[in-house]
Amino acid sequence: MEFLDFIKKYKVLGLASAFIIGLAINALILSLSQDIITPIIGIFIPGFENIAGLKLGVFGIGNFIAAAINFIIIALIIFLIVKFASRIGLD
């Protein structure tokens, strides 16, 4: 009984659902970044689509740069979603 009260009080099912949806959105945005945005940038900066393979000595900085770009895109999209939700009253 105490466990069920805990689940109800802290809305664990809603949190779990949000987490799973977040994972799915992450995969979607990662694909958007890698499959759509990176090739578009590659049109203007030749070789950019192969940035993940970039190395500086023994360091694979290309993967870091690609992850940083993905993070910026994910943060921007989440910001826009939260801003839109706030504007329509879904605070």
pLDDT digits (tens, 9 = 90+) for 71-84: 898 888 889 988 99
pLDDT score recorded for residue 91 = 65
Q: Give the bridge partners for 59, in sequence order.
A: 56
pLDDT score recorded for residue 24 = 92
Kindly report the pTM of this predicted structure: 0.65
Tally the domains of the chain: 1
Task: Give the pLDDT band of residue 20 (cuts 50, 70, 90).
Answer: very high
Whether residue 61 contacts residue 55, with contact meaning beta carbons closer than 8 Å, is answered with yes
- Degrees to nearest 5, angle at CA 73 with 71 and 76: 105
CA pair distance 32, 44, nearest whole angstrom:
18
Average pLDDT over residues 37-45: 87
Site of tokens 């826009």: 80
Q: Which domain holds residue 42?
A: 2-87
